[in-house]
Amino acid sequence: MKNALLLLLIAVLLFLAIFFYWKQSQAESQLVMANEKINSLEQQVLRFTQPAPIDSLRPTQSVQPPLQSPDSVEKVPLPESTTFEEEVGSLSDSDIQRLKRKGLKNPEADLMNDLMRKQKTLLTTPGTMGGTMAIQDVRILNDRHALAYFEDGHNGGYLLLRYAVNNGAITWTRLDSYTM
């Protein structure tokens, strides 16, 4: 009788071990499929949210804004279009000398720091879902213009700015803004 109970207990434990192993492998395969589907959907969203490159030598046509991606609670990673190429936004030596003559000691750093201090007056797009719009990346294009990427964690856009330097004082003018 004791042997029968022991064998029955071993059989039940073996059955439970096999059952839970099967459930675990089934859950893992469903997780892999769900991750692949999420990656696929993220790629589709990125294709719709990235602005098309503009050829500056051809006449511009009206560009419709891309489709809006649904808001999410978690902060989404920056799309590839928001990372500027390193060659863009580098001041030439002549630009640096002109800005130094106008009163800036370290032109690129001074401009970026001043823009970060004044960003709230330049960003008119409201944040969504409790987020606050803030400039995330700045490129000083030349001795008069800058390009900035801004976001609140849910939505973002670009800001084209003109600046003037007079005796070390910097004034910013918003030329154009594009919200994704």
At 118, the amino acid letter reads K
Judge contact between 116 and 142, C-beta under 8 A. Answer: no
Map out the domains of the chain as residue ranges: 1-50, 91-179
Chain segment 112-168, per-residue pLDDT in tens: 889 899 988 888 777 778 788 888 888 888 888 888 888 888 888 898 999 999 988
Judge contact between 159 and 139, C-beta under 8 A. Answer: no
SS3 134: strand
Give the integer Cα–Cα distance in Å for 104 and 173.
18
Q: Provide the whole-model pTM.
A: 0.50
Dihedral of CA atoms 82, 178, 118, 71 in degrees, nearest 10, equals -70
